[in-house]
Amino acid sequence: MNPSRTLVDRIKTAHLTKLTDYTRKLYRKPELRKLFFELTLQCNERCFHCGSSCTAARCDELCLDNWLGVIDQVKADFGTSNIQLCITGGEPLLNPDFFAILSHAYAQGFKWGMTSNATLITPQVAQRLADVGMGTISVSIDGTRKTHDELRGLPGSFDRAIRGIQNLIDVGTFKAIQVTTVINHGNIGELDEMFGIMDNLDIDSWRVINLEPIGRALLRPDLMLTPDDYRRLFDFIRNKRAQGFPLEYGCSHYLGLEYEAEVREWYWLCNAGVYTASIMSNGDIGACLDIERRPETIQGNILRDRLRDVWDNRFELFRHDLSDSCAECRTCDHVRFCRGDAHRSWDYDANRPLVCLKGTLF
């Protein structure tokens, strides 16, 4: 084996061991850092990979007074200094009370960012976002023009998203403008062309994630990444990062010693229920919004439960290793670092991971 590779593996193993010890402490004493507000499930696009299968607003979505009350409650119970509000949907700008909600959050002292398809971000909307304190935004671009429009089910959406990004850039006051891309078997061949597009945009980072077998994507198994696709993707990310480009892989999976800490800033940790909580459009309280919504993953509802009580006294599902429930995972050589992988891609009926990169990357 390459001696330098052996040394790197030893260093990574030491780091991952410390992270494992830290994770055990985090299970016992979690820290809420990111709180997601799913303002609506309404969306003007119909993305084939949408984990929430968004199309229209639910009939039971929270009203303006509900959201204002949530903001006041979170400030009273958690303060504002250590929490980032992460605004999402659907397309959050389709909530008619969007600016009233976020204006109140900003006035109360919260830092906040948003995920958006950017098709509705005109110059005027971009300025209003700055006025109500938006610090960061992640915009979805899932391929070159033709591919993006097809995957998102909205003709012209690529051009509108690019214009939206430029409108944000032109304001010039946002802390970070990011593009997020979902890579599948169909668009992985466009990585180099997409890099050219991103390199010509004055964005702060490009975040790349893989298609997950959740939501609408379950209807397109032909677009799941192959083992060769995964290696191609992570080699691409690693090489671009080595060249200094701000490209990173998302927080989805444990990648093994070869790729961990080389395709993103640090090592993998599923944040669900230990750093992250979410309030869904109907008030349900959960962890990561990409996790399958079922009785055991829903921890309460903000209309009847106080988030502080739920955070402190529930979430048991997310505060132990998923591998505890899977015999195959428990006997794996990588279990102490992988811990059963991510809640977002866990099969809660079979108690096994839907995505395991052992045998593909390590």
Give residue 57's pLDDT. Answer: 74
Give residue 3's pLDDT. Answer: 75
As beta bridge partners, residue 77 has none
What is this structure's pTM? 0.95
Q: What is the pLDDT of residues 124-173, one digit of tens each?
A: 999 999 999 999 999 999 999 999 999 999 999 999 999 999 999 999 99
Average pLDDT over residues 244-268: 96
Q: What is the pLDDT of residues 224-241, one digit of tens each?
A: 999 999 999 999 999 999
Q: In this prediction, what percent of the chain has a pLDDT beyond 70?
A: 98
The two most distant CA atoms of the chain are separated, in Å, by: 62
Give residue 52's pLDDT. Answer: 63
- Rounded CA gap, 91 and 50, in Å? 12
Per-residue pLDDT for 216 more than 90?
Answer: no
Lowest-confidence segment of 112-126, 209-223, 256-270, 312-326 by average pLDDT: 209-223
H-state helical runs in the chain: 3-28, 64-78, 98-107, 123-131, 145-152, 157-171, 191-199, 227-242, 307-313, 327-330, 335-338
Alpha-carbon dihedral angle through residues 17, 19, 21, 24, given to the nearest 10 degrees: -140
